[in-house]
Structure 1
Amino acid sequence: MNALMKTSKAMLLLATTMLPVSGLAAQDMPAQDMQAQGQAQGDTLTTAYGPQMPAMSEMTAGPDLDGIISARSGDRIQITAEDGTKTVLTVTDETRIKSSGGFLGLNKDRLAANELLNGIPVSVETLQWDGGLVAGEIDLKKKDLKTAEMIYNATDQRFGDNELAIQQNAAATEALRGRFGDIDKYNVKNVTNVNFATGKYNLSEQDKALLCNTASQADAMENALLLVVGYTDSTGSQEFNQVLSEKRAARVVNHLQQACGWKPYRMLTPTGMAEADPMADNSTPEGKAQNRRVAVNVLVSKAVDEM
């Protein structure tokens, strides 16, 4: 892992939680801030260093929170309550994340940190220690993903025009821009497609090796993230294809995390897009074969890429 990621992770465990309580957005939380964290009091920032974070079993119960996820950076999320109160929490490997709505066939009682999409309403059971608040359990109210995406696009997280470093990924990025509100936050470094038989979502041995190779290459890039998107051809109903595209995306996500060792916190929220954004003409068998795919997008934050 690169030095920047190691430093950020180490300092996150050593420092207390810090964020300004006003005007917070993803771009307002650079990596260097995570190396000297403190507690926000109004608009005044106080830096303090504390002991290493203990296990959750050694912490005391904190307040229960209800609100929406209004910002996220690394292992920290900000919850904004209905009255506008902002609270910053640390998410750890022990944090239990669940959803009443379920998504992509993932176990509703055990979701990954990448499910913490801005704009989603949540209920949080917190724990507290000398370094601040830690999320013990997060319940995602995610029955309507479109509503969450609308809320997300209405937050303060605005990003400029996307300038791709790799010309061959331009078409894929344009398609993503129309579907994901924050895609302009990233440079697309690579796109790997794995294809499927009609109506199927199983991976071939060749595809499994290809996915692990992609993960290995991405791991060598500084702070790279993966965005997994599933697609189908035009065969079948919209409802069937939506479910199928989600199953394909879920299968790829599971393989990347379980077999290839890709960390869940380095993956953006996966999704299924049914027959949207075809790569080729669905009127031919060859075109349909190209469209039955899952795209694994390797992304790097522009803020890091331009350093």
Structure 2
Amino acid sequence: MRHSTASALQDPGPSTAHLACRLAVLALLALPAPALAQADATPASASPTVTAPDPLVPNVSYAPGQYAKVEGTIVSRKGDALLVRRQNTQELSVVTLTEHTDIESPTGVLNLERKKQDMAMLKPGLFLKVRGHGGDQKELVAERISFHKGALKVTNQISSGQVELKEDHEALETKVNATTDSLNAARSRARAEFSSIATRIADLDAYDEKFTGSVRFATGSAMLTAEAKSTLDSLVSIGKGLNGSLVEIAGFADSRGGAEYNQRLSQRRVEAVVAYLTQEQSVPLRKIVNPTGMGTSKPIGSNETEEGRALNRRVEIRVLVNRGMNAPDSSKP
């Protein structure tokens, strides 16, 4: 009997294995309920807990006064603070808006003009460009923000849940078939348009003089007369509606008095004209090109006579237009 038991321990048969399995099941059933609950909870507690991060925690900081620019997407916004993710990176920057922040979108021919936009348009999902300097809190204080209308449209659609992915193969095939019969004509138009655009781009740095005018001043004076104001009003009226126009302003004096005095006097006359155009006629400062006092240079009359000196006490205004922006589109019939 002892021999058979030893043999069974050394070489357990099917009956022994079956008995061991039954004993293991009974042992598990005998465990108390809390122990089973603890055993079941162990795998869950082993997995890491993911805590949602604060949406306005940057991983990029800026030294106070450091110039920087960021091109990317608004991740979130809290009041005047934006969290912007740089394009194609995981870099997050806090961008602060102030009352001095310029917000604009390109518009006009070739997107050369700028249109002011409202701060409320800066919503999560908007792709934009930010330029500014580092602030005291290591954030980027925005001085200029620009974005395209197309990006704003997509952002608004995303916000209202209206963006739908349309990948209908049959619809696309129908459109392709509809344009096949006019492919050659489309190619011809494309070549003509490309040639026209290339010419206009080449002319973007070229300006043509549209018209000129001048105003006169009394001896030693920089005060605009009623006649001078009327002349300026007429020039502004004529120039309305011109695309890409610029205004050149140069001031002059007669030869009486010292050179330094006449230089200052000619500059004061220029400043008087600029002030009138910007304040009374709302001409944007960006359209006034380098207004300069020229002293006694370039006289148009003899400084030996009163009539000649009166001609030299003047400010000349030249209105220039961009050749590329005002050229006719040769690609259109």
Band the TM-score falls in, shorter-chain normalisation: 0.3 to 0.5
Choose 1 or 2 for highest CA Rg. 2
Relative to the length of structure 1, the TM-score reads 0.44
